């Protein structure tokens, strides 16, 4: 299934950025975790730009017979901004191969995410603004070393934790959402 969602260049993504900073989603696990917990909608309470790497978006939304894929696609496609999809060369190449009925690389997601994280048009582009940049990762082993002071790693759970108490309301409690903060981060 081809996507009608525009995949944006780093400059286009940057122009849509808010003044509170940017959340980068360069792996599928955080969105999968939030969906499984019924809390994917909490991303909309952040008042931040949310940049999802195109290969991650494609991975999570490709199978529209899957409920999670449907939900993730509806949320991202229906809320631009704050969501922006950052294009990578690998993502563009793999989408073209799928359109032509060709086999894609089994490690395309990892390659595309690495492309974004290491390229001047990817992560470095956002960090260079000096505004806070949060890499959302549920990989407990991910650490940043010698990174700039405005670059942080945060888990999906940590992003919605305030003063040690989860800020993820139980369904049907009637509690109102409140913005996340302070944010638990790891900085190198």
Domain boundaries, the chain: 10-166
Residue 153: beta bridge partners?
A: 135, 186
- Measured torsion, CA atoms of residues 69, 58, 109, 144, in degrees rounded to the nearest 10: -80
- Among all chains, which residue has been given the structure tokens 């019924």? 38
Catalogue the E-assigned strands of 10-156. Answer: 22-25, 49-53, 83-86, 133-136, 151-154
3-class secondary-structure state, position 152: strand
C-alpha closest to that of 168 among 60, 1, 66, 33: 33
pLDDT in tens, the chain (188 residues): 334 445 555 555 445 444 579 999 989 999 999 999 888 999 998 888 999 999 999 999 999 999 999 999 999 999 998 999 999 999 999 999 999 999 989 999 999 999 998 888 899 999 998 999 989 888 766 666 667 888 888 887 777 765 444 444 333 333 333 333 333 344 44
- Among all chains, which residue has been given the structure tokens 């901004």? 81
Instruction: Determine the topology of domain 10-166 in CATH.
Output: Rossmann fold (3.40.50)
Phi, psi of 30 (to 5 degrees): -60, -40
């Amino acid at each position: 299934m081809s996507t009608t969602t525009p995949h944006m260049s780093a400059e286009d993504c940057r122009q849509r950025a808010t003044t509170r900073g940017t959340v980068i989603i360069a792996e599928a696990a955080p969105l999968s975790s939030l969906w499984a917990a019924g809390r994917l909608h909490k991303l909309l309470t952040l008042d931040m730009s949310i940049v999802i790497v195109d290969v991650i978006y494609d991975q999570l939304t490709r199978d529209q017979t899957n409920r999670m894929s449907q939900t993730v696609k509806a949320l991202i496609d229906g809320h631009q901004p704050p969501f922006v999809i950052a294009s990578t060369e690998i993502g563009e190449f793999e989408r073209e191969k799928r359109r032509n009925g060709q086999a894609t690389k089994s490690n395309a997601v990892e390659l595309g995410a690495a492309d974004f994280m290491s390229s001047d048009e990817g992560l470095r582009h956002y960090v260079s603004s000096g505004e806070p940049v949060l890499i959302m990762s549920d990989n407990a082993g991910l650490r940043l070393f010698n990174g700039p002071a405005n670059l942080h790693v945060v888990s999906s759970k940590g992003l919605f934790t305030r003063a040690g108490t989860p800020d993820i309301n139980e369904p049907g409690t009637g509690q109102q959402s409140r913005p996340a903060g302070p944010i638990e981060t790891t900085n190198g």
